[in-house]
């Protein structure tokens, strides 16, 4: 019963983050799966991809209804990340647990520090700049495949700064990118899915899906900057704990 409650609460938090911020939830999912629910790092990153994919599709549908998704821009951005996501997805099963955990902690710290920076002001969107967009998309795909995170914490800033989308459009479009990259990474991780505990993953994902709807409503009522800063502080603390544990 305790495990079920933890999975439900953690899932709700992940969903809230994805729905409200367009990303970031999965970087909390992995630490909870490893340190609280007892998953190995490889299993946790695979389980996280399952949870993130299901939740992102739900949140994407909500944003699409309000026309907050740039389908062409998001598809082109995600296309550059498909191959890197698949390649690093294969690599993840072949690296030591300590390396995977340390890499995750470092990326989480980078994400938290990036969230604490003031957001840049963008116009309504400009023409896709091919080289910067492709580089950002490929990098995001690599992170998704290797660490099992959706990468919205990297996608949203890239969509704002590289492609000039307004924050609301960037959040919605990032969910399309996350969905595509997560699916690509899952394709090559099918061999690591046999040992997954679906009695934990299913309620985790279900709570995350419901949380994504609430996160979408929360984003309309509370300052996005405040939500992002609070989440960033929590994420920074989690990342520091994981890095210390991996190195000690």
Higher pLDDT, 117 or 57: 57
The pLDDT score that the predictor gives to residue 23 is 63
Dump the DSSP string for 67-123.
T---HHHHHHHHHHHHHHHHHHHHHHTTS-HHHHHHHHHHHHHHHHHHHHSPPPP--
C-alpha to C-alpha distance for 136 and 237, rounded to whole angstroms? 26
> Taking each helix axis from N to C terminus, what angle separates 167-188 and 152-161, rounded to the nearest 10 degrees?
130
Average pLDDT, the chain: 80
**What pLDDT does 201 receive?**
92
pLDDT over 80 at 79, yes or no: yes
Q: Tell me what pLDDT residue 13 has.
A: 82
For residues 92-120, average pLDDT: 78
Domain count along the chain: 1
The pLDDT, as a whole number, for residue 239 is 80
Q: What pLDDT score was predicted for residue 122? A: 45
pLDDT at residue number 204:
93
Give pLDDT, residue 203: 94
Q: Are 19 and 171 a contacting pair, CB within 8 Å?
A: no
pTM for this model (two decimals): 0.76
* Full residue range of the structural domain in which residue 234 is found: 2-247
Instruction: Give the rounded percent of residues in the chain with a pLDDT score beyond 90.
Output: 7
Residue 121 pLDDT grade (very low, low, confident, very high; cuts 50, 70, 90):
very low
Mean local confidence (pLDDT), 67-84: 90
Is 70 a residue whose pLDDT tops 80?
A: yes
> 123-132: per-residue pLDDT in tens?
444 444 666 7
Question: Quick one: average pLDDT of 221-241?
Answer: 74
CB 144 within 8 A of CB 178: yes
> pLDDT tens, 5-40?
989 988 888 887 777 766 666 777 888 888 888 888
CB of 248 within 8 A of CB of 101?
Answer: no
Which has the higher per-residue pLDDT, 44 or 119?
Answer: 44
DSSP result, 178-233? HHHHHHHHHHHTGGG-TT--HHHHHHHHHHHHHHHHHHHHHHHHS-HHHHHHHHHH
Q: Please tell me the predicted confidence (pLDDT) of residue 68.
A: 87
Which element (helix H / strand E) includes 236?
helix 224-247
pLDDT at residue 32, as a whole number: 86
By C-alpha distance, which of 31, 82, 71, 62 is closest to 245?
31
Please give the backbone phi and psi of residue 198, each rounded to the nearest 5 degrees, phi first.
-70, -20
């Amino acid at each position: 019963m305790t495990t079920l409650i933890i999975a439900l609460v953690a899932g709700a938090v992940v969903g809230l983050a994805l729905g409200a911020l367009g990303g970031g939830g999965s970087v909390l999912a992995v630490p909870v799966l490893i340190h609280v629910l007892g998953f190995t790092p490889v299993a946790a990153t695979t389980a996280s991809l399952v949870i993130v994919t299901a939740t992102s599709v739900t949140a994407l549908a909500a944003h699409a209804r309000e026309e907050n998704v740039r389908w062409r821009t998001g598809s082109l951005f995600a296309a550059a990340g498909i191959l890197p996501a698949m390649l690093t997805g294969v690599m993840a099963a072949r690296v030591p647990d300590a390396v995977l955990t340390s890499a995750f902690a470092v990326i989480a710290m980078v994400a938290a520090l990036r969230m604490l920076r003031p957001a840049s002001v963008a116009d309504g969107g400009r023409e896709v700049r091919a080289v910067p967009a492709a580089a950002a998309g490929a990098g995001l795909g690599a992170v998704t495949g290797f660490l099992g995170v959706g990468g919205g914490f990297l996608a949203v800033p890239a969509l704002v700064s590289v492609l000039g989308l307004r924050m609301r459009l960037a959040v919605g479009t990032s969910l399309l990118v996350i969905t595509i990259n997560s699916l690509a990474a899952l394709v090559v991780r099918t061999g690591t899915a046999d040992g997954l505990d679906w009695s934990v993953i299913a309620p985790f994902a279900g709570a995350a899906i419901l949380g994504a709807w609430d996160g979408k409503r929360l984003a309309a009522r509370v300052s996005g900057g405040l939500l992002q800063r609070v989440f960033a502080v929590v994420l920074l603390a989690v990342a520091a704990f994981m890095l210390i544990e991996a190195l000690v």
